[in-house]
A and B are shown apart, each in its own frame.
Chain A
Amino acid sequence: QKEVEQDPGPLSVPEGAIVSLNCTYSNSAFQYFMWYRQYSRKGPELLMYTYSSGNKEDGRFTAQVDKSSKYISLFIRDSQPSDSATYLCAMPLQGGSEKLVFGKGTKLTVNP
């Protein structure tokens, strides 16, 4: 079993839809959780960084963490064509200055 599982999609939605992206993980040592957005031919850019169970909002984006189920989600409200990208979940292996373990990424297309 991989440490981080993420459905690679692709996921295609109409503009304005609510998007739900998910990852599961197997290692209880993961305490911090990140979501990155990667546009084609660009490096990943950090969207959200959470370290506690519950929800964290930033504009149209909400990150949700359920440590008891080892499940994290990223919700995008009122999705826009500019949200079309690959979304990757990532977790620092030891919760600090250590390597990141990534999911495979979910490719999202928002159609106008």
Chain B
Amino acid sequence: SAVISQKPSRDICQRGTSLTIQCQVDSQVTMMFWYRQQPGQSLTLIATANQGSEATYESGFVIDKFPISRPNLTFSTLTVSNMSPEDSSIYLCSVEDRVPGTAWTYGYTFGSGTRLTVV
């Protein structure tokens, strides 16, 4: 399985500011996924990031609020912009685990998460 390094692990931010979360993967991956995990709620996909193209956002999430960069096949960032207390959540990146050279997926690996508190 891939190994993901996600930073920061936690942060407390003032409302109106922005925070950029980084994910580094130890292998090249086509797609990286960004999720939000709110207390008592399911993990919810924010967007899918492909290298070399615009990220694809899920319903309810917009690029102005959650801009994503994907400069290469091992790295991605998610920015939470103009934060409000409602953005307090855990943010996770994820990649698909595939058998090398095939389209066979055997799971998804997640980063350890970024616990964001907006005050």
Give the B-binding residues of A (Cβ under 8 A): 4, 8, 32, 34, 36, 41-46, 49, 88, 90, 92, 96-97, 99-105
Contact = CB atoms under 8 A, between A and B. Distances in A.
Nearest to B96: A97
B42 A4 contact: yes
Contacts of B115: 41
28 contacts: A4-B42, A8-B40, A34-B107, A41-B112, A41-B115, A42-B112, A42-B113, A43-B6, A43-B92, A44-B43, A44-B110, A45-B110, A46-B1, A49-B106, A49-B107, A88-B42, A96-B103, A97-B31, A97-B105, A99-B45, A99-B48, A100-B94, A100-B108, A102-B42, A102-B44, A104-B40, A104-B41, A105-B42
Interface string B19-40: 0000000000011010000001
Contacts of B42: 4, 88, 101-105
Given A46-B108, A101-B42, 9 more contacts: A32-B105, A36-B110, A42-B113, A43-B111, A45-B110, A46-B97, A92-B105, A97-B31, A102-B42
B14 interface: no
Contacts of A45: 110
Interface residues of B, number: 29
Interface in B36-85: 40-45, 48, 58
A38 to B, nearest CB: 9
Contacts of A42: 112-113
